[in-house]
Amino acid sequence: MHSVSFPARLTRRFAAGSVALAAVLAGVAFAASPAHASTSSTGYCLRAVQAQDFGQIVQYQCDDSDNLQNWTVTQVAVPNGDTPPPDNGILIQDRNNSTGYCLDADAQQIQDFGSIISWQCSSSDPYQLWIISSNSTGIEFENYGAWLYHGASYCLDADAQQVQDYGAVIQWQCSNFSDPYQLWYPLASDYHVQQNVGASA
State the pTM of this model. 0.81
**What was the pLDDT predicted at 189?**
74
**What was the pLDDT predicted at 88?**
76
Q: Which H or E element spans position 62? A: strand 55-63
Mean pLDDT of 151-166: 97
Q: Which H or E element spans position 148? A: helix 144-150
**pLDDT tens by residue, 103-142:** 999 999 999 999 999 999 999 999 999 999 999 999 999 9
- How many angstroms separate the CA atoms of 25 and 167, rounded? 32
Mean pLDDT of the chain: 83
| Number of other residues whose CB lies within 10 A of the CB of residue 122 | 14
Percentage of the chain modeled with pLDDT above 70? 80
- How many angstroms separate the CA atoms of 145 and 164, rounded? 28
**pLDDT tens by residue, 17-37:** 333 333 333 333 222 223 223
- How many angstroms separate the CA atoms of 119 and 121, rounded? 6
Domains in the chain, CATH or no CATH each: 2-34+43-200 (2.80.10.50)
User: Pick the residue with more confidence: 86 or 55?
Assistant: 55
Percentage of the chain modeled with pLDDT above 90? 72
